[in-house]
Amino acid sequence: MKKATARRTLPAGVAKVLKRPHYPLNAILLCVRWYLTSPLSLRHLEEMMVERGFEVDHSSVHRWVIKLVPLFAKAFRRYKRPVGKRWRMDETYVKVRGQWKFLYRAVDKAGNTVDFLLRAHRDQAAARRYFEKAIDRNGAPETVTMDKSRANLATLLAINTERETPMKVRQVKYLNNIVGQDHRAIKRRTRPMMG
């Protein structure tokens, strides 16, 4: 009875993915939650689940994460708090499956994440894709502060020409420290996960 009610409260896509799990639903969700919220590797989670009486292989945990995270992101997006109208935007690089990728991110004045996008290249096309996605999901900002990136500036100027009320663009390196420092937390979490 409890299992059926737990499945009914899950988003439809999640229940569809977890049709016939070999492990209890609570164990699966706990592993995914720990992997996303803590800097734990898959092997650490494997050991932690053995301590709780479940012999789970690290590859199973990885499969759960790959299947469930996009569904959770889609389901929880509607509960996201609105972000401010002053964004600080920057990109950093992270290693994903042995290859360096660029992570485009923006935070508002309070430090809340606006949006992010992972791309293979750091160019105008990637910056445009990021800004279109962020504006589509969060509305247009009044001000965007960024570093001296020419691709980001060209993208914002092109977007401003298409808009009635243009966004104010500031390229001041030191006003962008909020998002620069926030990259540390991302790298601190991705390092133990080995990309």
According to DSSP, residue 80 is labeled P
As to burial, measured by CB atoms within 10 angstroms (0-12 exposed, 13-18 middle, 19+ buried), residue 164 is exposed
Judged on CB neighbours under 10 Å (0-12, 13-18, 19+), 166 is middle
**Helix axis angle, 25-37 to 2-9, nearest 10°:** 40
- Considering only CA atoms, which of 60, 79, 97 is closest in space to residue 195? 97
SS3 10: coil
Q: How many Å apart are CA 92 and CA 190, to the nearest integer?
A: 13
Q: How confident is the model at residue 1 (pLDDT cuts 50, 70, 90)?
A: very low
Class of domain 86-190: alpha beta
Sheet (strand 86-96) strand order: 113-119, 99-108, 86-96, 143-146, 168-171
pLDDT of residue 9: 63
| Cβ proximity of 132 and 167 under 8 Å | no
Q: What does the domain layout of the chain look like in residue ranges?
A: 2-78, 86-190
Give 132's pLDDT tier (boundaries 50, 70, 90). Answer: very high
Q: What are phi and psi of 27, to 5 degrees?
A: -65, -40
Report pLDDT digits (tens) over 46-84: 999 999 888 989 888 888 888 888 888 887 777 778 888
Task: Give the model confidence (pLDDT) of 36-56 as tens digits.
Answer: 888 788 888 999 999 988 898
Query: Could you tell me which residues are beta bridge partners of residue 101?
Result: 94
Contact 175, 88 (CB under 8 A): yes
